Chains A and B, each alone.
Chain A
Amino acid sequence: MFRRERSIPLRGSAAALCNNLSVLQLPSRNLTHFGVVHGPSAQLVSAAPEGVPLAQRQLHAKEGAGVSPPLITQVHWCVLPFRVLLVLTSHRGIQMYESDGSVMVYWHALDSGDASPVQAVFARGIAASGHFICVGTWSGRILVFDIPAKGPNIVLSEELAGHQTPVTDIATEPAQGQDCVADMVTADDSGLLCVWRSGPEFKLLTRIPGFGVPCPSVQLWHGTVAAGYGDGQVRLYEAGTGTLHVQISAHARAICALDLAPEVGKLLSAAEDTFVHIWKLSRSPESGYTEVEHCHGECVPDTQVCGARFCDPSGSSFAVTGYDLAEILRFSSV
């Protein structure tokens, strides 16, 4: 059972994008940072445990050539071994800031050279993998940036080819120790999933084909890929082989966000049908197959949800954003 907690007000409403909420938990400082995209600006809010807002900051997409102010597609905190960076992707390029958004440390302009006039050009999909930050683009290419322990000497080290349609989301997990284990998965508008092994050079391990429906959100947990699709399905695959293990008819509309509480194996799914669901992932001791159990469903009335994240490692609280809603809704278990 979950109850509604105090909402955090936003200066601008949330835009109708997918994965439109990023959360940075700082338990040692008794603080949680939230990031939401409004449109041409993104909002950062820090809040105390009871949801009392403490500080706000607005970031804008860097201007470039064009008639109207560029729109932001995603904002996301990347936790690296020695630092945390805030990454902002837009229709112009990629901006990286110190974690509180105070200083921009890097700007990468997108190359729209081979785009046709009908194609929208943008960056979307952000994840940290070791000391790399990976960002997806409209062409399907994944840009891999090498991040130093401190300072602005960020370098584009690799461009990964694997997708032919715009990238939607990227998920990573710490390598499990063995050599050839998958630790990154990327998804795109056609529903194709690419599974990678990170390293000085990233290696494509498996491709999991789509079925004509976009995959807006993806997560990776102990070698299992969890993917949310535009037809409301959540599917779990074995990352190494691409074998489908679980198929959930989870939502009645397109899924917009997935999140994981990796310590306890909890998965959060949110969709445009106004529902948020929490699932428990486990491995059957007899068969070794992945199993899923439904834990909780929450309806956010009359709200097209666009972002959802767990707010603590045990998955006992979560936050939600909705299109046109100028607040972050918070829920915690009783």
Chain B
Amino acid sequence: MSVRTLPLLFLNLGGEMLYILDQRLRAQNIPGDKARKDEWTEVDRKRVLHDIISTMFNRKFMEELFKPQELYSKKALRTVYDRLAHASIMRLNQASMDKLYDLMTMAFKHQVLLCPRPKDVLLVTFNHLDAIKGFIQDSPAILHQVEEIFRQLTEVKCFFLLCLWQTYGGLSAGEFQLIRQTLLTFFQDLHIRVSLFLKDKVQNSNGRFVLPVSGPVPWGTEVPGLIRMFDSKGKEVKKVEFKHGGNYVTAPKEGSFELYGDRVLKLGTNIYNECRALTFSKGPQDAQTSVIYITLREEPFPPNFTGIFLWEAMKSAWLLPT
């Protein structure tokens, strides 16, 4: 299978995790002045997201991630997210961590399955990265050495983008097809039913995703329904239409693969909002629903200066145009 798949798997699952944690923390949000010591505030929420983002984009970890390698086993990958989720002042019990991981994996499985072209998984990745930008903007200002931030800024921005473009910038359609097959193999036989997906008719009650047969065709594909016949000189001699069975239209435009741009594709954007509770069921019948619940760590957590430097650097990096 493709040895270039792990960064995409990690970044996209990480992105989904941030969406879900953000939604849960907002749902559990208490206004700052009214909060007790054990309750969540807006500042706490931003702190958690920043700490996780800075851990995700840690340079040493990125170097390791982008090395050509087979995918981690399901168990090993789950451990990585366990650690990542606990990189800050947040704690999740085992059941909540299970639910978080189930939702992350089903969400990304859905995105990979519905990608119009195999290379559109890069657009999904960009959607996640664009959203991560938003999480680290408007942060409370934390003042530290300016020179240190400038140094980190150039390093981190250049390094991360370099990794991404080096790995995926020159890949052919065939290589993206292999990456897609590798991802689908990883997600094979996962059919956990998610109430949000069931409600939106994105998933059937048997856990299988709905594959629409209408809408825009992928960029570069023609709307099915035409047979064209040519003579030996290449001149068209006959044109016949046939009924395809779907209801497709031409793609309006191609999504942008640049650092900034309109991705066009909605897969990988944040589908969770405050009004929706996240619940799950695993069995054939609707099991008892449970909700991801996040608590504060019991023991005191030391301030993470490295993490703060990194997210300040990341914040400035993303805000600067190329």
What is A's interface to B at a CB cutoff of 8 Å?
13, 15-17, 39, 67-68, 71, 91, 117-120, 165-166, 168, 188-190, 212-214, 216, 230-233, 238, 241, 243-254, 273-275, 277, 287, 289-294, 297-299, 301-304, 323-324
CB distance from B181 to the nearest CB of A (A): 5
Q: At the interface, is chain A mostly helix, strand, loop or mixed?
A: loop
B75 on the A face (CB < 8 A): no
Contact A253 B218, beta carbon cutoff 8 Å:
yes
Residues of B within 8 A of A254 (CB): 118, 177
Residues of B1-33 contacting chain A, CB below 8 A = 1-4
Complex: how many Å from CA A71 to CA B117? 23
User: Known interface pairs A289-B231, A294-B242. Does A189 touch B68 (Cβ–Cβ under 8 Å)?
Assistant: no
Contact B229 A120, beta carbon cutoff 8 Å:
no
Contact B221 A16, beta carbon cutoff 8 Å:
no
B184 on the A face (CB < 8 A): yes
Contact B244 A275, beta carbon cutoff 8 Å:
yes
Residues of A within 8 A of B240 (CB): 293-294
The segment out of B150-158, B209-217, B260-268 that lies at the interface is B209-217
Chain B interface: which size bin?
35 or more
Contact A274 B213, beta carbon cutoff 8 Å:
yes
Residues of B within 8 A of A120 (CB): 1-3, 178
Complex: how many Å from CA A230 to CA B238? 24
State the 8 A-B residue pairs at the shortest beta-carbon distance, nearest first: A189-B174, A294-B242, A16-B184, A249-B222, A214-B174, A118-B68, A297-B245, A249-B226
Residues of B within 8 A of A246 (CB): 227-230
Contact A274 B3, beta carbon cutoff 8 Å:
no
Closest A residue, CB atoms, query B248: A252
B95 on the A face (CB < 8 A): no
B147 on the A face (CB < 8 A): no
Contact A291 B238, beta carbon cutoff 8 Å:
yes
Interface string of B165-176 (1 = CB under 8 A from A): 000000011110
Contact A297 B227, beta carbon cutoff 8 Å:
no
> Can you show 24 pairs from A to B with CB atoms below 8 A apart?
A16-B184, A16-B185, A68-B73, A117-B68, A118-B68, A120-B1, A165-B174, A166-B178, A168-B174, A189-B172, A230-B118, A230-B174, A230-B177, A232-B222, A238-B232, A245-B230, A246-B229, A247-B230, A249-B224, A252-B223, A291-B238, A292-B229, A294-B242, A302-B210
Residues of A within 8 A of B222 (CB): 231-233, 249
Residues of A within 8 A of B191 (CB): 324
B220 on the A face (CB < 8 A): yes
Complex: how many Å from CA A230 to CA B174? 9
Residues of A within 8 A of B220 (CB): 213, 231
Known: A213-B220, A299-B213. 11 other contacts (CB 8 A): A17-B181, A118-B4, A189-B177, A231-B220, A232-B221, A273-B224, A274-B211, A275-B244, A289-B232, A299-B245, A324-B208
B237 on the A face (CB < 8 A): yes
Contact B204 A302, beta carbon cutoff 8 Å:
yes
Contact A304 B211, beta carbon cutoff 8 Å:
yes
Complex: how many Å from CA A168 to CA B177? 11
Residue in B68, B181, B224 whose CB lies within 8 Å of A252: B224
Closest A residue, CB atoms, query B71: A68
Complex: how many Å from CA A91 to CA B221? 31
